[in-house]
Chains A and B, each alone.
Chain A
Amino acid sequence: MFDNFVVPDLLPAAPELFLAFMALVILLVDLTVKDSRRTLTFALAQLTLLGCAAIQLFTSTGDVVYTFSNMFVDDLMADLLKLFLYMTVIVVLFYSRGYVIDRAAMNKGEYYVLALFATLGMMVMISANHFVTIYLGLELLSLSLYAMVAMNRESVVCSEAAMKYFVLGALASGLLLYGMSMIYGATGTLEITGIAERLYGGGVNKSVLTFGLVFLVAGLAFKLGVVPFHMWIPDVYHGAPTSVTLFIGSAPKLAAFAIVMRLLVNGLITMAQDWQAMLIILSVLSMAIGNLAAIAQTNLKRMLAYSAISHMGFMLLGITTGVVGGDARFALNAYSSAMFYVVAYVLMSAGTFGVILLMARAGFEADELDDFKGLNKRSPWFAGIMLMLMFSMAGVPFFIGFFAKFAVLQAVVAAGYIWLAVVAVLFSLIGAFYYLRVVKLMYFDVPVDPSPLSASMDMRVLISANGLAVALLGIFPQMIMSLCAYALLRSL
């Protein structure tokens, strides 16, 4: 029975295994934690993530390695994205800490364990080379997030957001699965590299395949949160506790980018003409609706939700311009620009939600736009950090957001879609309005609540570092840009 059982090579998945093991350990250890601040749980979670990063660096070979019967792949793109992922989650947990301690219902060991499991899910997604692996990672991420959104049990808004997230997330998973099953029907395999080979060989039923592709793209669009599959984003961002919004609004974008790359580029590159056309529509709609709807918001979290929609739309532009008329010359340039965009966005998004968390206190969320009135009077330093983040999001130099937009636009122009670049910058112009409004509130208006900020020192330091990183990486974007390009070069 076990004749042809081969012990898989575990090394490529070492960080995942370590994280899974440690998450379980932390769950047990937390039972004994007496400290109401849960310092031990927090520290262990952070150490686990650091350990993952160390293992990742140590085991990375730079080559494309398949394991678990080709279900799992470890390549440089995965390594790099996972490193960014660990960094993001570490920062997110740091930012969340004060907020969570102030809210008794959330201050449980499960908060950290769920965050770790969500991270594990994202890691699996990033390294997936099989439809089942993708689905496994996606569900692990989603179920952890549903629970995290609902953790603040006393809040009706949070429960409502969790319910919405769950129902729509399940629908999206259904769409994705349906699409996968169609593609399986057309190609006879669930393995992503296998699908690419079958499609390359030809003789595949095109109509079934296209049908499956439509569902697959719809499912991905749900997860990315692009129009017209964006409805959950504003409600969940708004309703979830801010620390969870920060989590949802940052790290999963890296994983979503990864599965788009795995499914569409690694698996279905021969269908590029079809999915690129779909993505262009999604992208333009997202930039339009995201930017226009953001103007009307009075709640900062909701505004950032619409801004996230528009940013994901912009990022998709990079993915839509990889193959031009069957010519894949521009692929590396295009996909690495999209990857850089995601990384830059995650950095900015984490910082922005971080500032909201910095201003929040027990019983006060600081998520209304008016809460930012006169911040320059209350704390010139953090007003300055928020200013940099807002201008970066708007794509104004010298901040990283400018070079993110620059890289993507340059890919779009190189592919010859000048009209698309013009559309994109026009919507960026509309987008600039609501970012400017935040700056206006902070600098031009008088504070409603003149009390100084009361955040802890480590939080202040980290947010300052985050803001300065947005500025410094805007002046020296070369390193991350070329890292992204190199990782994709070695992985595609």
Chain B
Amino acid sequence: MSTYPLLSLAIWIPIIAGLVVLATGSDRNAPLARMLALFGAVAGLLVSIPLWTGFDIANGGMQFVELKTWIPRFNINYHLGVDGISMLFVVLNSFITVIVVAAGWEVIQEKVAQYNAAFLIMSGLMNGIFSALDGVLFYVFFEASLIPLYLIIGVWGGPNRVYAAFKFFLFTLFGSLLLLIALMYLFIQSGGSFSILDWHKLPIALGAQIWLFLAFLVAFAVKVPMWPVHTWLPDAHVEAPTGGSIVLAAIALKLGAYGFLRFSLPIAPDASQELSGLVVALSLIAVVYIGFVALVQADMKKLVAYSSIAHMGFVTLGFFMFSAMGIEGALVQMVSHGFVSGAMFFCIGVMYDRVHSRQIADYGGVVNTMPKFAALFMLFSMANAGLPATSGFVGEFMVILGAVKFNFWVAFAAASSMVIGAAYTLWMYKRVIFGDVANHHVAELSDINNREFAILGVLAIGTLWMGLYPQPFTEVMHASVTDLLRHVAISKIQ
């Protein structure tokens, strides 16, 4: 165990770096702003890595715990800690931040300092969400992270960005406000504690549990997003700049899913069992129906956005199987989706930067002019479709295995998504990459430069590593997931 407050560093280094970047001011200092941002992001990643290397895999409880009083008036503490469920996301988030800063290096030419600062601040806040063990601290990070993303979509987004930014903000705020009331209810019920770990032990009657579960469900379902509250995501993705899409897909969507594991299941276990049918049904609709919706998209970003919803459907499905296989599979799927969807959005961004279109119809035969790009895009498309040996396969396979034990038909429906996923991803790939050169825009394309190659290369390594040797990812979560399941199996009704 390290004596440094690693989690605090992982939260505050990016935020302070963001403020410093902001202070560089106008675009005359853009090169400086970029360098500082990269430095901040890399520093954030460096302090996160010891969380993984120093993690005690036999311990299912909280590690790297920090506890200080914050607002004694309401017994609110600055209480941080990670377990096997949350640790990987802190690392993933810090990693993605580096990618995002690099992804916007040449593309963003306006308000460079503000752009990078927004991402750094958001990165810190997201690390805060994953490591907060105090309900209010969690909520504060959870809601504050809306502000930078709202600005990112609204300032650097596409033509319909205002609508998308408002929709994103108001949808997610709606969910989180109900969460706030649930937190206050728990505060009163627990006799004045905001500690999430105390709430895990708190006995609650079934009626109250169901209300709490529903409040959590609304809050987290909007964030995940689950069908039918997913409609903000395609809009936000389409209008967001590439970096915004990457963060949104790779990290922001994980917040909701993480909330289920940290709040819904352990705080309201009986209601979770009681209402698991509802969540499973919503998840299957996301997996199957949204999969078909993705199939008919003409806009590449929208297609990948819908595919994200379908993949997140797998995640929520895995959680509510109440088996170690299901939950670990879902967690692997979350991390994998962080790599794969981030890479997919980056690939679309690469093409968009050159052609300024995201319509599939505007492309064709890209392989002729961008062979290196086509090869890497192929890998990520395969991973998105869940091909074995890529990270996309491991998680989906584990969830489906878990589902077979749960109910055969659920597993059947879930498995059908392997087919649909392959269909929409590969069909898009075929139309964009293969065939004859569609028009003079494609003919004039230049292949990816070293920066783009490096970014995609790193993501490719991550994808293959998880696909071929997932052990380092699964071993850290095992003890915590086992503890969680043991906890969920015990009724809290007294």
Bound-complex Cα distance A468 to B103 (A)? 32
Bound-complex Cα distance A376 to B169 (A)? 20
CB–CB B72/A478 < 8 A: yes
* Interface status of A231 (Cβ within 8 A of chain B): no
CB–CB B155/A443 < 8 A: yes
Bound-complex Cα distance A443 to B111 (A)? 11
CB–CB A428/B166 < 8 A: no
Number of A-B contacts (CB under 8 A): 89
* Interface status of B143 (Cβ within 8 A of chain A): yes
* Interface status of A444 (Cβ within 8 A of chain B): yes
Question: A398's contact among B140, B173, B188, by CB below 8 Å, is which?
Answer: B140
CB within 8 Å for A485 and B73 given contacts A410-B187, A436-B169: yes
CB–CB B114/A413 < 8 A: no
Closest to A336 in B: B73
CB–CB A478/B71 < 8 A: yes
Name the residue in A413, A439, A443 with the highest tally of chain B Cβ atoms < 10 Å from its Cβ.
Answer: A413
CB–CB A413/B166 < 8 A: no
What's the dominant secondary structure at chain A's contact region?
helix
The segment from B177-185, B261-269, B416-424, B425-433 found at the interface with A is B177-185
Chain A residues with CB below 8 A from B73, complex form: 478, 481-482, 485
* Interface status of B74 (Cβ within 8 A of chain A): yes
Closest to A403 in B: B71
Chain A residues with CB below 8 A from B387, complex form: none
CB–CB A409/B184 < 8 A: yes
Chain A residues with CB below 8 A from B178, complex form: 422, 425
CB within 8 Å for A436 and B166 given contacts A410-B74, A443-B151: yes
What's the dominant secondary structure at chain B's contact region?
helix
CB–CB A397/B144 < 8 A: yes
CB–CB A425/B151 < 8 A: no
Bound-complex Cα distance A154 to B140 (A)? 48
CB–CB B169/A413 < 8 A: no
* Interface status of B147 (Cβ within 8 A of chain A): yes
- Chain A contributes a number of interface residues (CB within 8 A of B) equal to 33
Chain A residues with CB below 8 A from B188, complex form: 413-414
Chain A residues with CB below 8 A from B155, complex form: 376, 443-444
Q: Which of B56-77 contact A (CB under 8 A)?
A: 70-74
* Interface status of B290 (Cβ within 8 A of chain A): no
- Per-residue contact bits, chain B 169-200, to A (CB 8 Å; 1 contact, 0 not): 11001100110110011011000000000000
Chain A residues with CB below 8 A from B187, complex form: 410, 413
* Interface status of A105 (Cβ within 8 A of chain B): no
Closest CB in chain B relative to A419 CB, distance in Å: 10
- Chain B contributes a number of interface residues (CB within 8 A of A) equal to 36
* Interface status of B165 (Cβ within 8 A of chain A): yes
Bound-complex Cα distance A347 to B197 (A)? 35
CB–CB A440/B70 < 8 A: no
Closest CB in chain A relative to B223 CB, distance in Å: 15
CB within 8 Å for A426 and B177 given contacts A413-B188, A418-B185, A440-B166: yes
Chain B residues with CB below 8 A from A426, complex form: 177
* Interface status of B150 (Cβ within 8 A of chain A): yes
Bound-complex Cα distance A28 to B140 (A)? 53
CB within 8 Å for A425 and B177 given contacts A413-B185, A478-B70, A481-B73: yes
- Per-residue contact bits, chain A 407-442, to B (CB 8 Å; 1 contact, 0 not): 101100110001001100110110011001001100
- Per-residue contact bits, chain B 454-494, to A (CB 8 Å; 1 contact, 0 not): 00000000000000000000000000000000000000000
Chain A residues with CB below 8 A from B150, complex form: 436, 439
* Interface status of A402 (Cβ within 8 A of chain B): yes
CB–CB A433/B166 < 8 A: yes
* Interface status of A396 (Cβ within 8 A of chain B): yes
* Interface status of A406 (Cβ within 8 A of chain B): yes
CB within 8 Å for A422 and B174 given contacts A380-B114, A440-B166, A481-B71: no
Bound-complex Cα distance A208 to B113 (A)? 66
Q: Which of A440-492 contact B (CB under 8 A)?
A: 440, 443-444, 477-478, 481-482, 485
Bound-complex Cα distance A403 to B187 (A)? 15
Q: Which of B143-174 contact A (CB under 8 A)?
A: 143-144, 146-147, 150-151, 154-155, 161-162, 165-166, 169-170, 173-174
Question: A425's contact among B72, B136, B154, B180, by CB below 8 Å, is which?
Answer: B180
Closest CB in chain A relative to B83 CB, distance in Å: 24
Closest to B161 in A: A444
Closest CB in chain B relative to A343 CB, distance in Å: 14
CB–CB A421/B146 < 8 A: no
Closest to A481 in B: B73
Bound-complex Cα distance A135 to B212 (A)? 47
* Interface status of A372 (Cβ within 8 A of chain B): no
Pairs across A and B, CB under 8 Å, 18 listed: A380-B25, A396-B143, A396-B144, A396-B147, A397-B139, A397-B140, A398-B144, A402-B140, A406-B136, A409-B184, A410-B74, A414-B188, A418-B181, A422-B181, A433-B170, A436-B166, A444-B154, A444-B155
Extra 8 A-B pairs, beta carbons < 8 Å, given A443-B154, A481-B73: A397-B139, A397-B144, A410-B74, A413-B187, A418-B185, A440-B166, A443-B155, A444-B165
